[in-house]
Structure 1
Amino acid sequence: RCGCERIRINVSGHFFETRASILDKHPDTLLGNPRKRQLYYDHTRDEIFLDRHRPSFEAIFSYYQYGGKLKRPHHVHDDIFLSELMFYELESDVVEEYKRGEGYTSDDIEVPKNKILKYLWMLFEYPETSRAAFVVALVSVIMTLVSIILFCVETLPAFSDTHCVADEAPNFLDPFFIIETTCTLWFTAEVVIRFISSPNKFRFIKDFKNIVDVTAIIPYYITFVNVISTMSCSSAKSSASLAFLRVIRLIRVFKLTKHSVGLQVLVLTFKASIEGLGLFLVALIVC
């Protein structure tokens, strides 16, 4: 009762021993709660027996003794270690801190209450929820790749005169214009539907991926309005500001991060290494 008694813990044949007062510092955990750990008590051997992963428990036992952050042993897989943390019911804030350190994301999924809006939101936002959502994501990726390739191909000298017809009038039957218009209409419909069906409009506007979506389609409409108002494609192509807007269209490559786990890991890697990369950039600028 005073916390001075010694408790022997047997984890798959590997013995650990500590005082009850050390475990009692974590009353919400499996071993820190006397009632919970009593379920695993072996009266014949006078010990707590746990048929669990031994290498993982060494790090967990160190946390019980010294506190601080959890550190996964390098030879233990993260899935196994995380399942052990769940079994021992360690504090949620400690587990969340460990998951952030390992690169896990913990975004809360919020869906609309309306059934139709919920269906549209899941259809365009979560490709893994249904086959139709996967097809929509696949079409979005194909449109993004086609748009990026089209932007690069149309800069070749062989295609420099296809945008205009006689008297510098815009050529609306140009294959580049038709394909780009089709891609832009798809991106526009996608953004509009996702905005209308989003459960939180303010969070939707702040999301970096949605900013990329809107930024990628604005240059097309600005260029299109300029061409329609002047009915001269050469003036639109010679405008420095509109040329800069055309380059912004390449930002569509960031749309692929929404559908690629590898690119998401790359973004998290840059975010975690921003301090070192910033120092490298300063050194590069000085040179």
Structure 2
Amino acid sequence: LKIFPETLLGNEDKRRLFYDNKLHLYRFNRHPSIFESILYYYLNPGILIRPPHIESEIFYDELRFWNINESLMETFIEDDMIPLDNIRFLPAEKWRRIIWKTLMYPKSIDFPYSELVIGTCILATLLSCIPFIGEIIPTVTELNKLQNILGVKQIYFPLYMRSFYIIEIISIIIFTIELNLRIISAPKFSLIIYDIINFLDLIIILSGSICLISYHLHNIRHINNFLSFYYWLLILKSFRIYRLTRYLLHLRLLYKAVAISLNEVCALIISGKIY
């Protein structure tokens, strides 16, 4: 066991947590067939065999519980063709690993402020929806009516209440910091590139920033010139609700459904615009 001190059985402190003082034995409430493979791993150092009747996903979960060497698990993943969705790659540096696990796997870290960080991100996402709702109530078509009623050819646009403006600034700042921390702490840059939610974050930040700049500078004088573009900005800003898919399982299912039917969604948006 001491040959592999990083594993659960090889680490005396970790192993002690499962010791039954009454029965004077170790109790592991895990899959018995897989445990035979774990013991084989220690008896034949470095050799890992999955029982043929065990699902790959179940076997991989057991390997994570027993803290089997990560490099060996990656080899097993490639050879056994497990989907990469649930595989956790971690950075080598401790500070990057803490940031990455806090942002991506908050439940797997003992960092005392991880829940506070995630709670702040969720709260910022929910608050950011308030200015967006304020922008579509009244709707853009009603803004056209407002222009006709006022009898003016120019109007400050978009229309923000002061409180909404402050909330929007704070939300965009938090989103930007979170995205940058995720990029800096990522163990592999491909994890950032192939995660569509990161692109949604970028779209949310850019669309929100454009609206803030136009509001701050008041340089959009003619509503008709900006109206068509603003339709698209509203659609892009509506994606911010999907940020919650990082933290809520049910919304993650919704996100996956949208991702699968992305072509149909794009076709619907374009056809709606043409109509």
Give me the whole-angstrom Cα distance separating, in 2, the residues matched to 1:98 and 1:216.
34
Tell me the residue number matched to 2:97: 118
Unaligned runs of 5+ in 1: 1-79, 162-166, 279-287
Tell me the residue number matched to 2:34: 86
Give me the whole-angstrom Cα distance separating, in 2, the residues matched to 1:139 and 1:214.
19
Tell me the residue number matched to 1:136: 117
Query: Would the aligned equivalents of 1:150 and 1:176 in 2 still touch at CA under 8 Å?
Result: yes
Q: CA deviation at 1:124?
A: 2.2
Query: Would the aligned equivalents of 1:219 and 1:242 in 2 still touch at CA under 8 Å?
Result: no
Give me the whole-angstrom Cα distance separating, in 2, the residues matched to 1:236 and 1:145.
31
Give me the whole-angstrom Cα distance separating, in 1, the residues matched to 2:100 and 2:224.
37
Tell me the residue number matched to 1:252: 240
Give me the whole-angstrom Cα distance separating, in 1, the residues matched to 2:52 and 2:171.
44
Q: CA deviation at 1:193?
A: 1.2
Q: CA deviation at 1:195?
A: 0.7
Query: Would the aligned equivalents of 1:220 and 1:246 in 2 still touch at CA under 8 Å?
Result: no
Larger Rg: 1
Q: 1:187–1:237: structure 2 CA closer, same or farther, 3 Å change rule?
A: farther
Map 1:1-287 to 2 at 5 A. Answer: 83-87=31-35, 89=37, 91=50, 95-97=54-56, 99=58, 107-128=86-107, 129=109, 130-157=111-138, 168=155, 174-227=162-215, 231-232=219-220, 235=223, 238-265=226-253, 270=257
Q: CA deviation at 1:152?
A: 1.5
Task: Specify the code of the residue in structure 2 equivalent to 1:116.
Answer: W
Q: CA deviation at 1:109?
A: 1.8
Unaligned runs of 5+ in 2: 1-28, 38-48, 60-82, 147-153, 265-275
Task: Specify the code of the residue in structure 2 equivalent to 1:152.
Answer: I
More strand by share: 1
Query: Would the aligned equivalents of 1:216 and 1:251 in 2 still touch at CA under 8 Å?
Result: yes
The two structures, once aligned, show a CA RMSD in angstroms of: 3.9
Give me the whole-angstrom Cα distance separating, in 1, the residues matched to 2:171 and 2:195.
22
TM-score (normalizing by structure 1): 0.52
| Count of aligned residue pairs for this structure pair | 186
Q: Answer with 242-251 or 257-266: which moved more.
A: 257-266
Q: CA deviation at 1:95?
A: 3.1
Deviation sequence 1:183-224 (CA, Å, 0-9, x none): 111101110111111111122121122122112211112333
Q: How many percent identity over aligned positions?
A: 21
| Higher RCO (C-alpha 8 Å, min separation 6) | 2
Query: Would the aligned equivalents of 2:91 and 2:185 in 1 still touch at CA under 8 Å?
Result: yes
